[in-house]
Amino acid sequence: MKLVFLGRFRELAGARLSDVPLPAGVRTLQGLQDWLARTEPDLAVALTGARTQVAINQTLVRDPAYPIGDRDEIAFLPPMSGG
Amino acid sequence: MPNNIVKVRITEQAFDPALELSAFGAGRQDTGALANFVGYCRDMTAGRRVGELTIEQYPGFTEREITRLANQVSRELGTLDLMVVHRVGAIRPGEAIVLVAALAAHRNAAFEAVRLLMDYLKTDAPLWKKESGPDGVRWIEPSAHDHARRDQAKEKSGEKV
């Protein structure tokens, strides 16, 4: 799967997480977040902010039970600030 | 009557707002009002000197989301054409960051559309700003004030964005 970290999340994640095989047992967004909490605890803490949003295949997703597969692109978006 | 156009452009190049506006709405004869707003990069913010502003996008997603917000505003306020030009990448003080322009039959819809779209962009456009200067580097996030403004605007319009 492809993981995309934007803004300050990208600086925390670096390039090491951009293309990773779907971890064993991960089937949902919640599963992915649990996996990140185990393998990347510092990053996972940063991602849990109240205004963090997640896009799966470029669509905003709020449901933690949303299914995730190995061909998906999952993006973590810090609070947005345009204009 | 011509179709209403929502035009969104994300660019890494510096742009000239006057030039962008020169062809906006050309050929229309049903326009009664044009309103526009230009946001610039300042050399000072909250007492800190700004050397450079860097804006990051999520390619594809950013343009689509801004287009969605602009279409929402167009529907809510019944404007004619809307235009958004937004810089990404490295921006120097004095350069334009964003241009929002609206055409409408009457002035109130044009003024309102520009204000509402700017409020939405502040909190809902997938863009991330980093400011760098002699005091270091910091990511900028929308203020509580920005969120309050946006929620107020949303409530007023009675729509979900």
What pLDDT, on a 0 to 100 scale, did the predictor assign at position B159? 55
Residues of B in contact with A80 (CB under 8 A): 123-128, 142
**Residue B49 touches chain A, beta carbons under 8 Å:** no
Query: What's the pLDDT tens digit per position in B78-137?
Result: 999 999 999 999 999 999 999 999 999 999 999 999 999 999 999 999 999 999 999 899
pLDDT above 70 (res B1): no
How far off is chain A from B33, nearest CA to CA, in Å? 23
B4 to chain A, minimum CA–CA distance in Å? 23
Sequential DSSP letters for B98-158: EEEEEEESSHHHHHHHHHHHHHHHHHHS-EEEEEEETTEEEEE---HHHHHHHHHHHHHHT
So what's the ipTM on this one? Answer: 0.91
- Candidate from A51, A78, A83 with C-beta closest to B98: A83
Q: Are B130 and A7 an interchain contact pair (Cβ–Cβ within 8 Å)? A: yes
Residue-wise pLDDT for A7-62, tens only, equals 999 999 987 788 899 999 999 999 999 999 999 999 999 998 878 999 999 999 99
Task: Reply yes or no on whether the pLDDT at B45 is more than 90.
Answer: no
pLDDT of residue A65: 97
